[in-house]
Structure 1
Amino acid sequence: MIGSASHPRKPGPSSELRAPVLEIDNLAVQVVGEPPVRHILEDISFNIRPGEMLCVVGESGSGKSVTSLAVMGLLPPGSLRTSTGRILVEGEDILKASQARLRELRATRMAMIFQEPMTALNPVEKVGEQIDEVLRIHTKLSRAERRAKILEMLDAVHMPDVERIYDSYPHQLSGGQRQRVVISMALILEPKILIADEPTTALDVTTQKQILTLIRELQKKHNTAVLFITHDFGVVAEIADRIVVMNKGRVIEVGSRDDILAYPREPYTRMLVSSVPSLVPKQRAALKSDIVLDLKELSKTYAGRGFFGRGRSIAAAQGVSLSVRKGEIVGIVGESGSGKSTVARCVVRLQDPTSGNILVHGDDIAKATGSQLRPMRRRVQIVFQDPYRSLNPRRRVGDSVIEGLINFGQRRDEALNRARELLGLVGLSADAMERYPHQFSGGQRQRICIARALALDPDILVADEAVSALDVSVQAQVLKLLDEIRERIGIAVLFITHDLRVAAQICDTIVVMQHGRVVEAGSAAEVLTAPRQDYTRALIEAAPGRDWDFQNFRPL
């Protein structure tokens, strides 16, 4: 039921009467140096008031992140520049500010949280020193006062053992902890406007819930205005006061959370909302086909390595047993560190299992090495999360698709014919063969990766977070494609994901992992509607927007 357990969080009357913290008026951004003027953004106008959470949504390339960079004064010089409009932060037009003034405004008046905390932090500097740099530049506090303020901030973001965290390097922290460090750095000087650009996309549902709760908590405490950029409509349903919908560099629709999600006016908005997968699993008949993949007591232990000899070993997967039938999609879900990707990499033999069996049509590939393993590799293929990194940017798409076929001795002309056939299967035209990866969208690149994986007629396809980096409309297209391929050619699919909505819509069977072990397994309907384990229930409870049915918004 739409909004059945949700409540509008519109700013109260006192907030609505206050002047906006951020006001964007008729903003346009264009590409530098092109004779015919090409705009990336056109006529962008909206505002945010104190204590308000404004979510900006839209497909990749809609202009969400460019808008945020323009606000921060971080547009790449020589590539993009503002051509018209104003960006007012507490009444001051930052487009007229000098670089020195912009540096002063950043952190003190406006701050930004980026999607990937590991790239936002210096890997060779302790996190306490990195937060301290903000205070050194913008305050006159003594070192002792700065340290005390940093420890207080780390405690405010619910970090355990703040003294240890202060002296840790980024790689010694979990993904959720690193994002908390970035939030600490952004909010240490209590800025009036916080920009969060996809800050929870790479996080599992429980960590995501913690970060969203934290941002809300700190926002209320400091009455901060938050510009939250995301393609996750579950997150939008959970936190938004108002929503701005963008498409192709323009604002399409602006309204309250309930208005946009329950009564979308524009066709583009209706398409986006209807693309959000439901948490209610589809009813699927139990398959009785042959077992293609059979894992028996699969384990993988990483031997620790320290500066002074052997360190602590880590059991990433312990006694994992599951099976995948012909034409079946089996999903593995769980938090980061649960062992999902370790199992996937062992199945495709990118990593050697420590013990156990990996049976493909009864043949055990777990112990195969060298010349024994090579012919078996064509039987199991993988599609990774990031399609751009999976493809060689210097090779034409046709050459990438046929690479495996050529390596296994097929003639080039036959391989090219097979590549054209496969590209047609994934919905791309034959002329894609002559183009390069950068000439395609993210969804098209993932289709190319799927075509390449299918080239060798594998028995099983492993999809490791294959749609988590895609926006909702493209995600829906790729999920539909995988379902069609599964039905058309009967391939077995092992689907790794942290998104329970995606698992609900595409998986026949769901396997739940925690700390390297299988804690629950069954049909998607059984696991998601009648979970037996507390851990599974906690995962479902943490799924953002779980009380919203995005498929059934009100008709116009």
Structure 2
Amino acid sequence: MEFKSKDFSNAPRVLKIRKLKVGLTGRPNAAPVLDGIDLDIRAGETHCLVGESGSGKSVTSLAAMGLLPKGALEVQGGLIDLEGFEITSASPSQMRELRARRIAMIFQEPMTALNPVIRVGEQILEVLNTHSDLSPSEAKKLTLDMMEQVHLPDVERIYSAFPHQLSGGQRQRIMIAMALILDPDLLIADEPTTALDVTTQLQILKLIAEMQERHGTAVLFITHDMGVVAEIADTVSVMQKGRIVERAPIRELLTDPKEAYTRKLLTAVPNLAPRPARGDVAEKDVVTVQGLDMAYGGGGFFRKSDRVKAARDVNFSIPPGRTLGIVGESGSGKSTVARCIMRLIDPTAGKITVAGTEIARLSRRQLQPHRKHLQIVFQDPYRSLNPRWTVARSLCEGPINFGTSRDEAMTKAAELMELVDLPRDALDRYPHQFSGGQRQRIAIARAVAMKPDLLVADEAVSALDVSVQAQVLDLLDDIQEKFGVAMLFITHDLRVAAQICDDVLVMQKGFVVEHGPAGQVLSTPRHDYTRNLINAAPGRNWDFSNYRALDHAPAPKGAIA
């Protein structure tokens, strides 16, 4: 594997952080959120800050931007120096002048960072109007030029578009254009690719590297994915519980990690080696899908529009105790298929048979008795769990609705908490009192409470840290082994699919382009699109568990360069 190997020791230092301490506002005796952080980033260098959720990565970036939430967090000591300018003592007006011009930030979720009611071109233009003296025509010309530099298509059209009219990758490119249009000395990228599918993620990572090379920008890249780190980093700092526990050049960190926590993060990174094939397949399938079509649109009484086919002639079956993974980019039709099977939406055509019953044409009333046979775990457990209900109520609701007594349901809920490695006494807590990984465990327990024949996991681990992700995948595997449930696993990440799926179905633009055993699809893919997905997986050339590079053949023909 080729590592970035530039020597930055003689490059000018852009950011210097010394003994930075951040704590809760008005609570000097509380444990600090950041405890003595030291960090250096030099011109042209990409420094990755890695660690699990809650380690202090994003707080470090917010402190550097002067954006700590007022009344919640405050700098309680230390130094943040941006090329001789002390940020911790700067006034609000000084920080407003500093941002965008000398330091800029790309946030994780562009849909919330961008104003939904202002056209994206005008939002980039606002940066220039605030921080430069360019004429309106010059500012617009520079904006369009920057949009072309970040490889947006048809820039005149996108200039006039609203954020919701763009894809996730296009919105993130707008954020990059906005951050770099004034050529800042330091770019902070806070998990900018976490919510993107692997091919879009690869494009964004290449774009940031290209823009950095072009402008000589120093980059502080925040991520929990060591696969991404292996692709882009020059140097790495590993954070745990508000402290930096290890710091090293990328080659040294990946080949000879010193700290147990670093080794834990590396070991948790999923790889593309498929799981061992399971035993004989049962004769009777839990779910069978035949000729499934799903089309959206078509207009109304006064307006007609073209129908968009999100799924076309999809066919598959899943036997008990087996997992079928559906993989593909955003918009490929993965989640549409899952929602059709769950009858959250009504398919346009085709048959869906679950536990011996054809459910595609059943009315909502007819479907009700069959709901217990199929359950779903969504991507975001915080949105799928009722925030006003205790965990006990969430776990008991389904069984009680299907005739279980309240006492029996509570007893079962306590057992389920142990099954997902959570304490029984947590039943009286609310969702906001748990971490993201714990909430997802609760969502899984809620689904299992119904003793389903089919469990649908729709991007159920994509928003989790890799170490928590590994734990949740192990939990799903254990539950499947214990209860013999069939599972439909939706993901855009083939690394994750390799860890849990027996069979893999690849979708592109609503079509199934490849379908077969996981070992076959992931090891000897037949379709160019599948090869592109595999070659876009971050860190695919690295065996993280054994701290060594993998010897791969050249990228298959048709793969992304």
Regarding TM over 0.5, the answer is yes
SS of 1:327's equivalent in the other structure is coil
Q: Which residue of 1 aligns with 2:436?
A: 442
**Of 511, 530, 538, which aligns to 1:544?**
538
Residue matched to 1:266 = 259
Amino acid at match of 1:237: A
Residue from 436, 447, 456 that aligns with 1:453:
447
Which residues in structure 2 correspond to 1:110-129 (within 5 Å)? 110-129=103-122
Aligned to 1:349: 343
Q: CA deviation at 1:551?
A: 1.4
Q: Establish whether residue 39 from structure 1 lines up as the match of residue 32 from structure 2.
A: yes
Residue 143 (structure 2) pairs with residue 161 (structure 1)? no
Residue equivalent to 1:375: 369
Q: In the alignment, is the contact (CA less than 8 A) between 2:355 and 2:373 conserved in 1?
A: no
The DSSP-based 3-state class of the residue aligned with 1:372 is: helix
What are the Cα deviations for residues 68-111 of structure 1, in whole angstroms up to 9, with x where unaligned? 00000000000000000011111211111110010011000000
SS in structure 2 at match of 1:512: strand
C-alpha contact (below 8 Å) 1:277/1:502 kept by paired residues: yes
| 1:283 to partner: Cα distance | 2.0
The CA deviation at 1:8 is 2.3
Q: How is 1:393-408 mapped onto 2 (pairs within 5 angstroms)?
A: 393-408=387-402
Counterparts of 1:421-436 in structure 2, within 5 Å, are 421-436=415-430
Contact 1:56–1:246, Cα closer than 8 Å, also in 2: yes
SS at match of 1:402: helix
Of 20, 28, 49, the residue aligned with 1:56 is 49
Displaced runs of 4 or more, over 3 A: 304-308
Preserved CA contact (<8 Å) 2:14 2:186: yes
Distance 2:390 2:37 in 1: 37
Indicate whether 1:256 and 2:252 are aligned: no
Instruction: State the match for 1:503 in structure 2.
Output: 497
Distance 1:170 1:116 in 2: 12
Q: What letter is aligned with 1:354?
A: T
Q: Is the 8 A contact 1:287 1:328 kept in 2?
A: no
The range that moved more, 35-44 or 348-357, is 35-44
Amino acid aligned to 1:205: V
The aligned residue for residue 276 of structure 2 is 283
Report if aligned partners of 1:26, 1:84 keep a CA contact under 8 Å in 2.
Answer: yes
**Residues 514 and 275 (structure 1 numbering): CA distance in 2 closer, same or farther, change over 3 Å?**
same
Q: How does 1:403-414 map to 2 (within 5 A)?
A: 403-414=397-408
Deviations 1:154-185 (A, max 9, x none): 11011111111111111111111111011100
Secondary structure at 1:378 match in 2? helix
1:213-269 deviation per Cα after TM superposition (whole angstroms, max 9, x unaligned): 000000000000001011111111110111110000100100011111221100111
Q: In the alignment, what sits opposite 1:223?
A: 216
Judge conservation of contact 2:506–2:514 (CA < 8 Å) in 1: yes
User: For 1:73-84, what aligned pairs fall within 5 Å after superposition?
Assistant: 73-84=66-77
Secondary structure at the counterpart of residue 9 of structure 2? helix
Provide the rounded CA distance (Å) in 2 between the counterparts of 1:46 and 1:341. 41
- The alignment's TM-score, normalised by the length of structure 1, stands at 0.97
Query: Which residue identity is paired with 2:198?
Result: V
One of 440, 458, 462 as aligned partner of 1:468: 462
Return the letter of the residue paired with 2:86.
Answer: D
Shift of 1:306: 8.5
Counterpart contact for 1:26–1:85, Cα < 8 Å: yes
Counterpart in the other structure of 1:10: 5
Aligned equivalent of 1:529, options 523, 528, 532:
523
Find the aligned partners of 1:144 and 1:308 in 2 and give their Cα distance.
41
Q: SS of the counterpart of 1:219?
A: helix
Give me the TM-score of the superposition, normalised by structure 2.
0.96
Distance 1:516 1:45 in 2: 49
Matched, 1:392 2:386: yes
Distance 2:447 2:159 in 1: 44
**Residues in 2 aligned to 1:315 and 1:488: alpha-carbon distance in whole angstroms:** 38
Instruction: State the alpha-carbon separation in 2 of the partners of residues 429 and 38 from structure 1.
Output: 25
Alignment-mate amino acid for residue 443 of structure 2: C
The aligned counterpart of 1:3 is none
1:204 alignment partner, one of 197, 214, 223 = 197
- Report the more deviating stretch, 57-66 or 414-423: 414-423
- Measured against aligned partners, the alpha-carbon deviations of 1:367-403 in whole angstroms (never above 9, x if no partner) come to 1112201111111100011111111122111111111
Aligned equivalents of 2:535 and 2:300: distance in 1? 38
The one-letter code of the counterpart of 1:73 is G
Give the structure 1 partner of residue 356 of structure 2: 362
Question: Over the residues paired in the alignment, what is the CA RMSD in angstroms?
Answer: 1.3
Alignment of 1:478-493 (within 5 A): 478-493=472-487
Contact preservation (8 Å) 1:55, 1:240: yes
In the other structure, the counterpart of 2:61 is 68
C-alpha distance in structure 2 between counterparts of 1:325 and 1:232, whole Å = 33
For structure 1, list consecutive stretches of 5 or more residues without a partner in the other structure: 1-5
Counterpart contact for 1:287–1:325, Cα < 8 Å: no
Tell me the secondary structure at the aligned position of residue 99 of structure 2.
helix
Give the length in aligned residue pairs.
547
SS of corresponding position for 1:353 = coil
Residue pairs, 1:173-252, within 5 angstroms:
173-252=166-245
Shift of residue 305, structure 1, vs aligned partner: 4.4
